[in-house]
Structure 1
Amino acid sequence: MFLRQKNRIALISVCGDPAIEIGKEEAGGQNVYVREVGLALAQAGWQVDMFTRRSSLEQAAVVQHSPNCRTIRLTAGPATFINRDEVYSYLPEFVYSFLVFQQREGLRYSIIHTNYWLSSWVGMALRKYQPLIQVHTYHSLGAVKYSTMSDLPPIASTRLAVEKACLETVDRVVATSPQEAEHMRQWVSTKGTIEIVPCGTDIDRFGGIPQNEARQQLGIAPDAKVVLYVGRFDPRKGIETLVRSIAKSSLHGQANLQLIIGGGFHPGQSDGIELDRIQDIVNELGLQNITTFPGQLGDTNLHLYYAAADVCVIPSHYEPFGLVALEAMASGTPVVASNIGGLKFTVVPEVTGLLVPPKNEVAFAQAIDQILANPAWAFQLGQTGRQRVEIAFSWYSVASRLGSLYTQLLDRAASVSGSKSQVAA
């Protein structure tokens, strides 16, 4: 016997474990999105199960986050870290494990919300076994990513085909910004239905501590000019551009200028290799005395670094949305970001920060200097950024909009089902 509840939903994130420690290999914005959306939906009254792939035998099979929200880790391939580009062959096993879990628990989900292209394949496969409403969030688009690469990975053609099929066939695709929606139409397909629902951030966690107190806790001098980067060590994140822009800054050579590059890494793995490369550039440019690498920033200290910074820099080459921008703005810290993707949606030029061309060291240096040289203006940018996040980008508002979308789709499905029943009668 199966229990189907109208408000029971499954968030599927095959390779973005919502219960994992942020900063692990390939753990970033997608993990945060799925976890926070799940928690907020649960608080709003939905029964939420979040499914991901088990990547270690030491991981708990089920993590209960709140009474109505849990993470369920399914077997799909060996219980070890696997690069995203190599997970595809294990997706049929993930589907099987999902169906076995349903059978064991006696559950049916009215809605599945899949995240990233691998999960969209899982969702479309599950719909062959049972009636399901599928909502999908891409998090990144293969076509946009591959347009900047000279050597495409073997999985590229498969990913592009799956992303196209997803947009054209699932019930609704969620774009996190108007820019991402435009990319879908331009790069993926003109068919399918898109709904714009932005990402969010924790407005209670970020913005609750003044700069001087945060600096005192972190041991940063009160008069320091602090430039902050937060994120993964990945060439696409543009950290090299930031480092070289600091070398070109008019403040370069001043004792109180500090560059903080925060993010976790794993020696010998891709992020560790990128860290080594960035450190070599820092040393080559003579910036080692003003640059610190505090490592992984998490629940205990991330909010402190945002609050302590004078400016947060997001020099990405491609960013579908960019949660770091929201976290910085929620902390009252102005942002300098690449004029790309979702960053053009979240950051309002000369209102909450500045936007500059990606990979442009001179432009980044000038924008950073402009903010550091005008503390009063920088403060106003930060205050306006905080107000913008409170109004439009809390996880509560995101969950409310997604909940409304789910309800709309459920009501439409019920209406269609009712009409068919009347015809049959």
Structure 2
Amino acid sequence: AEPSPAAGPTVLFVGRHEERKGLRVLLQASERLPADVRIWVGGDGDETLSLKRDFAGNDRIEWLGRISGEEKRARLAGASVFCAPSLGGESFGIVLLEAMSAGIPIVASDITGYSLVARAGSDALLTEPGNPDALAGALSAVLAGGHGVHDRVERGRQRANEFSMETLADVYTEMYERVLATG
């Protein structure tokens, strides 16, 4: 079924289920969120079975498995907030740019790879990696509409546009033209 924004507050995670992606931290944080909050978990990986076993009693989690690009876009459109709780090892936050382009609020870990894309307090809420309490607090604030969510979403869209292929092509073209003009 296609996700519906009317289904209630929903947190979306999409990624490999491996320790460095921080999914366990999100699932721990989910137990501290209001009872009506749903967690959509896209992807799979080495930790999928142990996570499903460890959080079997948490009926707010919907395990989506691997999802297509089309379903990811639909889930981004239907979710209330996108969460990227990685513990480290991210070279660049492409997934954050996708969420920014979709116009969804973002809560992510304050790690180097993500801070290259998302500016803390400006277009994303960045939290201490590996801290379920901090993550739950940030998610709760965003779901409650706090921390200037609407302004942050708009700045996120603008930030994503800065990384669009068209914009980057214009930047490179301008740079090449300057180099050619100066010989």
Q: Aligning the two structures, in what range does the TM-score lie when normalised by the shorter sequence?
A: 0.7 to 0.9
Counterpart in 2 of 1:259? 39
> Unmatched 5+ residue regions in structure 1?
1-216, 266-270, 416-425
Q: Distance in 2 between matches of 1:248 and 1:277?
A: 20
Aligned to 1:238, which of 22, 26, 29?
22
1:228–1:313 CA contact under 8 A, matched in 2: yes
Q: Distance in 1 between matches of 2:51 and 2:163?
A: 32
Counterpart in 2 of 1:353? 124
Q: Distance in 1 between matches of 2:5 and 2:129?
A: 31
Q: Distance in 2 between matches of 1:218 and 1:372?
A: 21
1:228–1:261 CA contact under 8 A, matched in 2: yes
1:242–1:315 CA contact under 8 A, matched in 2: yes
Counterpart in 2 of 1:62? none
Q: Distance in 2 between matches of 1:219 and 1:297?
A: 13
Aligned to 1:276, which of 49, 63, 86?
49
Q: Under a length normalisation based on structure 1, what TM-score does the superposition of the two structures give?
A: 0.39
Q: Distance in 1 between matches of 2:81 and 2:25?
A: 16
Q: Distance in 2 between matches of 1:400 and 1:374?
A: 36
Greater strand proportion: 1
Counterpart in 1 of 2:158? 387
Counterpart in 2 of 1:333? 104
Q: Distance in 2 between matches of 1:238 and 1:404?
A: 40
Greater RCO, CA 8 A, separation 6+:
2
Q: Distance in 2 between matches of 1:310 and 1:238?
A: 19
Kindly state the Cα deviation for residue 220 of structure 1 after the two structures are TM-superposed: 3.6
**Percent identical:** 28
1:240–1:281 CA contact under 8 A, matched in 2: no
Kindly state the Cα deviation for residue 298 of structure 1 after the two structures are TM-superposed: 1.9
Q: Secondary structure at the match of 1:352?
A: coil
Quote the RMSD (CA, aligned, Å).
Answer: 2.4
Q: Secondary structure at the match of 1:292?
A: strand
Q: Distance in 1 between matches of 2:37 and 2:60?
A: 7
> Unmatched 5+ residue regions in structure 2?
none
Matched, 1:308 2:78: yes
Matched letter for residue 260 of structure 1: W
Counterpart in 2 of 1:225? 9
Aligned to 2:66, which of 296, 302, 324?
296
1:333–1:381 CA contact under 8 A, matched in 2: no
Q: 1:403 to 1:222 in 2, by over 3 A?
A: same
Cα displacement string for residues 238-296 of structure 1 (whole angstroms, at most 9, x for unaligned residues): 111111011122x1xx2x31000111x4xxxxx2x31112212222xx31x21111122
Q: Under a length normalisation based on structure 2, what TM-score does the superposition of the two structures give?
A: 0.86
Counterpart in 1 of 2:31? 247
Cα displacement string for residues 29-48 of structure 1 (whole angstroms, at most 9, x for unaligned residues): xxxxxxxxxxxxxxxxxxxx
Kindly state the Cα deviation for residue 375 of structure 1 after the two structures are TM-superposed: 6.7
Aligned length: 179
Q: Secondary structure at the match of 2:87?
A: coil
Kindly state the Cα deviation for residue 373 of structure 1 after the two structures are TM-superposed: 1.1
Matched letter for residue 17 of structure 2: F
Counterpart in 2 of 1:323? 94
Q: Secondary structure at the match of 1:358?
A: coil
1:321–1:342 CA contact under 8 A, matched in 2: yes
Answer with 1 or 2: which has the greater Rg: 1
Q: Secondary structure at the match of 1:362?
A: helix
